[in-house]
Structure 1
Amino acid sequence: MEKSAEGPTKKKVVAVVGGGLVGALNACFFAKRGFEVEVFETREDIRQAKVVKGRSINLALSHRGRQALKHVGMEEKIISQGIPMHARMIHSPSGKQSPIPYGKKGQYILSVDRANLNKQLLTEAETYPNTKLNFDHKLQDWSAETGLMTFVRSDGSKDQIKADLIVGCDGAFSAIRKQFLRRSRCNYSQTYIPHGYMELTMPPIDGEFAMKPNYLHIWPRNTFMMIALPNLDKTFTCTLFMPFDDFEKITTGDEVIEFFQKYFSDTIPLIGLDALKRDYFRLPALAMVSVKCSPYHIGDKCVLMGDAAHAVVPFYGQGMNAGFEDCIVFDEVMDQFNEDFSAVLPEYTRVRVPDDHAIADLAMYNYIEMRAHVNSTWFLFRKHVDDFLHFLMPKTIIPLYTMVTFTRTRYHKAVERWHWQDKVINRGLLFSATGAVLGGSYLLIKNPPDINKLIIPAEKLWNRVVALRT
């Protein structure tokens, strides 16, 4: 709030451009601080829309996102509307199912509905008397010097507003960010991966989930994969991720069935032959883009958050969580610099850019892990080793996934620690293996053992390791 010698004057105006997940949450954060908040969204109000346009990939809510929701009193409400997923459930081509826990017992991520979460956040923002939601407002122009913004509506009419701070939360193809790119020393990269995604629905069977609900189901097939997340209506949303070239090779309903019989045969009776043939061609495969930029601010007037600053591919389940954490980080910097935008904005860029770039890279890496590495014996062995060492030394060895998903360890710090741990553990395994081979060779030469006596203790030790981690 601005002050003068006579006392308090009018509150500063914060214009949030974009009424999606991060924009709606940001409105709550700024309203809670007492700013006059105006939210501008191009689309109609999704709470009244018959059909909600936009992406519908299920979201995986984890610790970072939950902390942001907790800050505005929304955590418990959203958790009650989500479904816990304690592990990945790996489906082999033969139909065998093998769970791989995400973390320690009791740790889980939540499958949440994107549209419902967005509606809840908009409704929460509206509960603040100092917040106004403006739908059907498309940004036409804005000034980084004056904060003057012009919006056009579908009927051709225009609205203008002058904001003290403009917060760009308008997605991967941000209209706010376009002005950043016209300025010197603005770094920007946009990368489309060669894979697209397509959604299919697995309906309930006799009113119940067709598969075990408390898992993120994965069908890893090396160069492509399918995943399935549970919904509250007992359906699963199945998402097929595959190179566009492979999508384009399938042109008939019979080819769809042939493809699924070869790679996902256990899903055919669950999704249904007719539904597969119909839904595969209902919409074309959609693209996925990764966006990086720097800086995130212009002067003391404008800042980017969420996908507008750092769109990431969905393979670490951190896109929404990273966007929600942006809100917390900005709020923490606001406390640090007493809401002085001229100090807050550059500090936010300094702190946040390396973390968002790190999670963008991790999301790319995790696609390879999800579609291929989870099939690897070495991957499974290393996961057991990492989890066992984490059990023995919880503060020294922390698995990367745990740091990213179940803590607020800065993303780039988590990556640095992961690389260090990887070196230490691999060297330890190498030295152990070398020592075992040399020592074992000497003993075998002196006293050849009964092989049956060795197998049973080894099995007991391994079973003990598995018991400890679960």
Structure 2
Amino acid sequence: MARQAMTLIGGGPVGALLAQLLAKRGFAVTVFEKRSDPRRIGFKRGRTINLAIAERGLQALRTAGLAERALQKSVMMRGRMVHPLGGEAGLQRYGVDDSEVIWSISRSGLNALLVDAAEEAGATFHFGQTLVSADIDEQCLSLIDREDVQRDYGAGLLIGADGAGSALRAAMDLYQPLGIRVEPLGHGYKELEIPPAADHRRFAIEPHALHIWPRGGYMSIATPNIAGSFNVTLFLPLHGPHPSFDTLRDAATASAFFGRDFPDLAPLMPRFADDYDGHPVGKLATLYLDRWHIDGRAVLVGDAAHAIAPFHGQGMNCGFEDTVVLAELLAGCGRDTAGAFAKFQQIRKPNADAIAAMTLENYVEMRDSVADPRYLAKLELSTRMTQWSPEYFMSRYRMVTFTLLPYAYAYERGRVQNQVLEQLLRDFPRAGDVPQDVAMSALQAALPPLPSLLDSALTTIEGAPVLKPAHARPNFAFEV
């Protein structure tokens, strides 16, 4: 019996991981990617925000047998190192200890690893191929290569993993409107770099943290690379009064701004002028679709279906979670791909919508709140409540980042927990004054205990399907 053919448009991290998972399950997988082979072009400095691997992404990589190999290319980040203007930097941990950390990895390095693994599993990649059009009825693709040679290809089931600007999504929408809605954030970003320290082996600042310079309405962040450098990203409004990218058009106008607003960051970037003038301003938006598939012929995954801003570090993790769910559904559906695609959308869309909302909230928290006394009081009380009753209280960030609880569940439970925290801090303005019995009584009146994840592959929590782990968390760090 011939293997069922799957044609993926997009060979980035999500597409390459899905290709490997499908090939391992016996499908004949062909991938077309418009970019060059990441294993041959290497890392192009200043053109990508580092990716953050959290528990959802790690679980998907474990499913593919690639987690340890990915972590060897990563740098552990324990939490946010907050750099207030005129104050001392301080670490705000993400989790309770070093078992709850996230990992910084370069997009190109991870992509190369995943392409290798997909090819080893039997998938075929064609790079430098841009989708021109797709005939959904005939399942035929027209692609053009770097030499402007256009060819037609017969396709099997079509899967779009080609990112926020998805060409397959555009072709599907022409065939059958998908209900596309794009909500611009009104903010953009520019990428800079902190090079390694003078000996070219050490990091110039603390390596095991995501550094944030919050300035209320805008911010800079820095994420570590395994080679000792940091990717720095400046987030600003695109338009409007100073500071915005309208008013900071070039390095000459931006240098004085950096020296005043980021005085401890500016001296760490000796190539600031070249980076600022050489790198474009990226725009940020959230993508929503009413429909992710056309019956059983074509489906979208990852950013092609639900692109979000980078402020929760969950875009890739959410996409990786997509790949595990979709691969499992396709492996068990026989020829009912329409049913598999519909189930995939039913499972994943509420969670994609939830992480999109939490991501936008996290941007406000990162740029405005991390140095705010009220936020710090809630953070202190959250830590106390976690210690007092871990079976009832887990911060929303920990639910999103260190568990496989559905995003939609984490969003709703986090909303109720925040209401409890707000009420307690109205009654007791100092977190240290909140009595344990009062806090626990309020929490238990508002919420049931947290669900216990069993060692099976798929279950539901309050009606929402959730993948569950059967593993121990890593407790090691990349040593620098």
What TM-score do the two structures reach when normalised by structure 1?
Answer: 0.86
**What do residues 75-104 of structure 1 show as CA deviations (whole Å, max 9, x unaligned)?**
000001100000100001115101110011
Q: Which position in structure 2 is the counterpart of 1:366?
A: 362
Given that 1:65 and 1:325 are in contact with CA atoms closer than 8 Å, whether structure 2 keeps it comes out as: yes
CA contact (8 A) 2:192 2:231 kept: yes
Find the counterpart in structure 1 of residue 208 from structure 2: 214
2:398 to 393, 402, 406: 402
3-state SS, counterpart of residue 146 of structure 2: coil
Q: Is the 8 A contact 2:222 2:231 kept in 1?
A: yes
Whether the aligned pair in 1 keeps the contact of 2:82 and 2:92 (CA below 8 Å) is yes
**Pairing of 1:69-468 with structure 2 (within 5 A):** 69-106=61-98, 107-129=100-122, 131-182=123-174, 186-207=178-199, 208-245=202-239, 246-251=244-249, 253-272=251-270, 275-334=271-330, 337-338=333-334, 340-431=336-427
Distance 2:277 2:46 in 1: 18
**Aligned pair in 2 of structure 1 residues 393, 17: CA closer, same or farther (>3 Å)?**
same
AA aligned opposite 1:114? R
1:195 & 1:291 partners in 2: Cα distance? Answer: 15
Contact 1:231–1:237 (Cα < 8 Å) also in 2: yes
Instruction: Note if contact 1:296-1:303 (Cα within 8 Å) is conserved in structure 2.
Output: yes
Cα distance in 2 for residues equivalent to 1:56 and 1:160: 31
Q: Greater CA deviation, 399-408 or 185-194? A: 185-194
Structure 2 SS opposite 1:196: strand
1:432: Cα distance to partner? 5.2
| Residue segments in structure 2 that go unaligned for 5+ positions in a row | 434-480
1:134 and 1:391 map into 2 onto residues whose CA distance is: 52
Q: How far has the Cα of 1:148 moved from its partner?
A: 2.3
Distance between the aligned counterparts of 2:86 and 2:420, measured in 1? 36
Deviations 1:14-55 (A, max 9, x none): 001111111111100110110000001112222223675994
Q: Secondary structure at the match of 2:205?
A: coil
For residue 445 of structure 2, what is the aligned residue in structure 1? none
Q: Which residue of 2 aligns with 1:440?
A: none
Distance 2:382 2:87 in 1: 27
Q: Counterpart amino acid of 1:212? A: E
Instruction: Provide the secondary structure at the position in 2 that maps to 1:294.
Output: coil
What SS does the aligned partner of 1:145 have? coil
Alignment of 1:19-58 (within 5 A): 19-49=11-41, 52=44, 55-58=47-50
**SS in structure 2 opposite 1:213?**
coil
Rate the CA distance shift 1:374–1:257 in 2: closer, same or farther, 3 A: same
Q: Retained in 2: the 8 A contact 1:256–1:276?
A: no
Task: Indicate conservation of the 8 Å contact 2:43/2:109, yes or no.
Answer: no
Change (3 A) 1:409 1:336: farther
Would the aligned equivalents of 2:133 and 2:171 in 1 still touch at CA under 8 Å?
no
Give the aligned residue type for 1:290: T
How many angstroms apart in 2 are the aligned matches of 1:385 and 1:279?
41
Q: Is 91-100 or 214-223 further displaced after alignment?
A: 91-100
User: What is the CA-CA distance between 1:118 and the residue it aligns to?
Assistant: 0.6
Distance of aligned partners of 1:411 and 1:98 in 2 relative to their CA distance in 1, 3 Å threshold: same
- The verdict on how the C-alpha distance between 1:429 and 1:94 changes in structure 2, with shifts beyond 3 A counting, is closer
CA contact (8 A) 2:400 2:410 kept: yes
Separation in 1, partners of 2:245, 2:178: 36
Cα displacement (A) at 1:334: 3.5
Shift in CA distance, 54/155, structure 1 to aligned 2, threshold 3 Å = farther
What amino acid is aligned across from residue 266 of structure 2 in structure 1? I
Judge conservation of contact 1:46–1:52 (CA < 8 Å) in 2: no
Deviation at 1:283, TM superposition (A): 2.2
Distance in 2, Cα, partners of 1:73 & 1:339? 27
Alpha carbons 1:221, 1:372 under 8 Å: kept: yes
With over 3 angstroms needed to count, the CA separation of the structure-2 counterparts of 1:433 and 1:55, relative to structure 1, is closer
Count the aligned residue pairs.
426
Give the C-alpha shift of residue 428 in structure 1. Answer: 3.8
Conservation of the 8 A alpha-carbon contact between 1:167 and 1:304: yes
Q: Is the 8 A contact 1:294 1:349 kept in 2?
A: no
In the alignment, the residues of structure 1 paired with residue 177 and residue 198 of structure 2 have an alpha-carbon distance, to the nearest angstrom, of: 59
Instruction: Measure the CA separation in 2 of the matches of 1:210 and 1:418.
Output: 36
Matches for 1:55-66 after TM superposition, within 5 Å? 55-66=47-58
Distance of 2:161 and 2:45 partners within structure 1: 17
C-alpha displacement at 1:323, in angstroms? 0.7
SS in 1 for 2:143: strand
Q: Is the 8 A contact 2:178 2:292 kept in 1?
A: no
- Report Cα offsets for 1:367-397 as digits up to 9, x if no partner: 1100001121111110111122122211211
Alpha-carbon distance in 2 for matches of 1:120, 1:126: 10
- Residue 338 (structure 1) shift: 5.0
Give secondary structure in 2 for the equivalent of 1:81: coil
Indicate the SS of the match to 1:250: coil
Does structure 2 retain, via aligned residues, the 8 Å contact 1:82–1:112?
yes
Residue 119 to residue 137, structure 1, CA distance change in 2 (3 Å): same
Q: Would you say the 8 A contact 2:5–2:155 is kept in 1?
A: yes
Structure 1 range deviating more: 419-428 or 345-354? 419-428
The structure that has the greater radius of gyration is 1
- 91 and 156 in structure 1: CA distance in 2 versus 1, 3 angstrom threshold: closer
Gaps of 5+ in 1: 1-8, 438-470
Alpha-carbon contact 2:25-2:331 (below 8 Å) kept: no
